[in-house]
Amino acid sequence: MYAQFSGLFKVGETVYVNHPTESWIVGKVDAADKNNKKGAYSIKPVASLNDSLANENPINVNEDQLFKYTNDLDKLDHDDLLSMTELHEVTLLNCLRNRYKKDVIYTLIGGVLAIAMNPFKWTIPYVQDDKMDLYCNKGKNSNLLPHAWSIADNAYRIMKETKQNQSILISGESGAGKTEGCKTVIKYLSKLSCSITTDEKIRENASGIAIKIQECSPILEAFGNAKTQRNDNSSRFGKFIIMQFDKEGVILGAYMYNYLLEKSRVISQPLGERGYHIFYQLLAGADAKRRKELYLSKAEDYSCINQGKCFTVNGVDDGKEYAEVIKAMNIVGISQTEQDAIFRITAAVLHMQNLKFNLRGDGSEVENKQTLKNVAELLRVDQVGLEKALTTMYVSAGKDLILKGLVPAKACDARDAFSKALYDAVFNWIIKKINENLDSSKQHKVDNFIGLLDIYGFEAFEKNSFEQLCINFANEALQGVYNNYTFKKDVDECREEGIEVTSVTFNDNQECIELIQKGVVNSLTDCCKSSSTDIDFLEKLKKAYLKKTGFFDASPLKKEDFIVRHYAGDVSYNVTGWIEKNKDTLNGDLFKLTKTSTCNFIKDLLEDTGNAKDTVGESFRKQLNNLLTTINSTRPHYIRCLKPHPAKKPNMFSVTEVMNQLRSSGVLETVKIRREGYSVRMPFDQFYHKFKILLPPAQQKGSTKEEMRVSCEEIIKSVKFDKVKAQIGKSTVFLRHYAYSDLESLRNEKLVQYVITIQASFRKLKAIKEVATMRRLKKEEEERIYFEKHREEIERKRREEEEKLRIERERIEKEEAEKRRIEEIKRQEEEKIAREKREREAVILKEQAKLNKLREVQMKKMEELKRIEAEKEERERVKKELEELESGKANMEEQESVKIWKVDEGKLVGFTLSEARKDLIFRIKTDQLFTLEECKILIKEIVRIMKRDAERDFKNLIFLSKFRTEVLFPKPIVSDYISETHGLDGFADSIDVKKMIYGKVTIRPLDPLSSKDTILIAKEKLKLLVLNINKNIVKLIDNALRQRKERLLIIATILEELETSVIKKYLHPNELLVVMAKIKSQSTSNSNAASQQQQPQQQFASASEEKLF
């Protein structure tokens, strides 16, 4: 912060002021005096905005404690605080408050830190588990609101892409929501890792592991959490959970480390608070049998849990929570025997703390023997031995050990130490058992992990002891990790933009860490190894560090205190009891007593560390160093949990409470790091459009990115900023926060100049308008006077004008009416013509229908005549065939064959259907049948000629049908008369013919042993088969000739029709005569040849082969 006076704020101006006790409040500048030693500015709080400070006197502060007030601050809302133009405590606080009012509880600071505000309600829609899929399936450019899921998702995807281990550090004060935040992250990572695989077996196994990890929470919360003044479910220990993944990102298991269980809460708690949840859950949820076995009554009867006078938690059913703990223990693998032992020890601690001691001689004895008996039975140890171990101890006297009695106060200390040791050992055993069941490093290769740290936040009470030092030591060390990571990230961003960062520094807390780690812890350990007292320890610290480091101090008024200047503020520590707390010793007789227990669980519970046991401070330092080593090997992500109001109620926001947490959680340290660097970062376009007013109009060029960059450089030069104040990057302008304030002041001054110019121009324009108005009114007055003087003449002219307009209007109306009448007459005439045309067309259609009907009758008659003619011809053909057959018998001996074709390379030469038929009939009569092979060749040639003739006839029919369709009929004749079978109807009727065409006729080989009669019979069957084939070929030829005749009759019919038609209109006379003559001669010759089958068929065949077109 810079405390110099620059006169940035004016008297009467509204500002934010950093109040000594109320954080940032709204006030007005009452006076400004740079020579005032108390503060250059006197600020009066605004009563309407600060109810608690309504009557407070003005306070004096310097300029660095003020911030300009604007209405825009009430509208600040950024998902990422680093996207704000100016990063300041006021802007950060207002942004968080505005978002919290809208139930937006997560806000990012860069990509690795999220602020989580505890809403104290679970009805906010976007944090419900059913919205988790949106974040699991989101793209890189998704517009989802920030969430703890966002941090977890980012860590998981970076782990998969880079194969680098990740860590998520969750911190905050009690009641801020750390535990819930940790559970939220675990649940999300479990779901996300299970969703990436399509293998059902792997997914089922991963889901089972995820459930086990999540079920650890009820157990750990029962044994490690308690109700405090600040939080109903406060974690009283720290934990670091390592979630293990394979190379594909599927979850394999988990491993857990625990830190600093608050053992003092086992035996006592402040007013309004409770002990650990498990005590109350066991008392409320155990069934009658277990209660009897454990000698349990009600919570009010046990001194170790009734000191806080608080036995229930609002909205929590301890009985149901107990059932959830039992269920979780079964899931994570804690057996029934182990559960029984755990609850016996828990009950034993309750009863043990009720033990009272009476003075007896130099020692003491237990007053309530029945309670002692119950404890002994629960621990499965001897009652007498237990009483002896609690009331006596062995002390060294030279080389001898002397048994010494303990007075009641010392006996109570031994009792308390034993109770704390037993409970702490049970808690550590539970952690170890969970690790045994969840750690997969022994069965699988763990490729990567994500570590989750849930640890106490920074603590500073009125009286702080050894526990607070350990907690704050951990937070100081973690803040050092965060500082280094954040600062380096910020420096890298500047270097990417080409910005010099040699002048940028940040507050390094490494010296404070070294003070605690090597100074306080080492000095305390040395004092524990000698007979030093707490005061000796304090004097040793003062001698070594007072006035020798800026992080250590001591108040002369508090003789037992020393002060450490932490990153989050100064904390005063009281050293009373530190030596004993650091030793954390347990009477050796009590340890030996547990080894005599008949319960193996209790016998092995306490570990014998011998004389080499580390002190609490040393042990915690080693744990912390191991933790920091692990975190430093990962890429860290942070979730800072904040409690918005101490009342723990929804929709309540305390500025002071939140600001204190922002400081203690290191968030403001993040802001400070950015502020000590170039905290204001504006893209070229944004910077240019905001501050181009500082340039002359001629230099205001910003149409391209390069012009904007040049203009930004000109702006920086015009205000004479050096590189310490501002630098130009590749796409961004980097400014110190005070340089940005100076720019704002210069811009405001320029705006004032423009405002004055605008106001002058406005006044000028206003005066011009007023003069124009006066002139207009004067003219209107003159016109009114003139009108009054010449009213009658004006009225007369007006009436004449109106009359002219009326006459003109009437003329136009008459013309339009006449035009409409003519158009109507024309329309009626057109309708009449159209109607008559439709009537004529209807008559024509009717006549055409009659003509078509007559033509159909004519066609039917023609078909009937054709059928009669065909029957007549068939009868004549049969008759002639019979006559020919009879006449042929006479000269059968003389005639051998009439075949006039020859076979050339498997083909017939000089072949016609008529000759083939004649020859076949002769062969059948004379028993000179064709062989099977000859029949096959003959059939193929017949089929070829039939197809050729049919195709040729079809061409002729299609040609003629076109003329016939155009001249006589609208319907083509081909579809009526032409068969689509090409004359092959009936061709496949004979099975033998089919065999000849599609396969060879095979004769089974004769059996040599068969009789001669059998061979003769086979020969007769073969002869009969060949005879049938020859006959069927004759039928085939007859069918082909008959269908050819039908086609030729159709051609002849069309020719007759065309001779009487108007075809002459479409063809040249000579052309028509040639066509008609050819077709008619062909049709006549073919028809005669078909009807006279006795005559030679060579003429028919040659005519059919002739090409007409």
pLDDT tens per residue across span 144-186: 889 999 899 989 988 998 899 999 999 888 778 888 889 899 9
Element (H, E) at 427: helix 408-438
Known binder of ligand: residue 174?
yes
| Tens digit of each residue's pLDDT (9 = 90 or more) over 802-841 | 999 999 999 999 999 999 999 999 999 999 999 999 999 9
Q: HSE (CB half, 13 Å, CA atoms) of 217?
A: 18
Counts of helices then strands in the chain (DSSP H, E) = 33, 26
The overall average pLDDT reported for the chain is 81
175 assigned to a ligand binding site: yes
Q: What is the model's pLDDT at position 901?
A: 54
Instruction: Return the pLDDT at 987.
Output: 44
| List of the chain residues with pLDDT < 70 | 1-6, 47-55, 111, 139-142, 398, 488, 501-507, 608-612, 666, 669-677, 679, 878, 881-882, 884-911, 962-1019, 1055-1109
Does 111 count as an annotated binding residue? no
Per-domain residue ranges of the chain: 832-861, 899-1105
Q: Which pLDDT belongs to residue 891?
A: 47
Order of strands across the sheet that contains 106-109: 106-109, 113-117, 635-642, 166-171, 448-454, 238-245, 251-259
- Judged by DSSP in three states, 301 sits in helix
Q: Give the model's pLDDT for residue 1102.
A: 33
Between the CA of residue 431 and those of 105, 220, 729, what are the distances in Å?
A: 32, 8, 52
177 belongs to an annotated ligand binding site? yes
SS3 assignment, position 609: coil
Distances, alpha carbon 324 to alpha carbons 222, 272, 290, 694, 1021, in Å:
10, 25, 17, 68, 98
Per DSSP, the residues of 616-655 read HHHHHHHHHHHHHHHHHTSEEEEEEEE-S-TT--TT---H
β 552-553/561-566 pair status = antiparallel
Residue 792 has a pLDDT of: 83
Which pLDDT belongs to residue 1080? 54
- Give the model confidence (pLDDT) of 411-431 as tens digits: 999 999 999 999 999 999 999
CA distance 989 to 994: 8
Angle between helix 178-195 and 148-162 (nearest 10):
50
* 610 among annotated binding-site residues: no
pLDDT reported for residue 361:
85
pLDDT of residue 937: 80
Ligand-binding annotation for 116, yes or no, is no
To the question of whether residue 176 is assigned a binding role by annotation, the answer is yes
Does 425 appear as a known binding residue? no
Selection from 173, 175, 185 nearest residue 240 by Cα:
185
d(CA 322, CA 324): 5
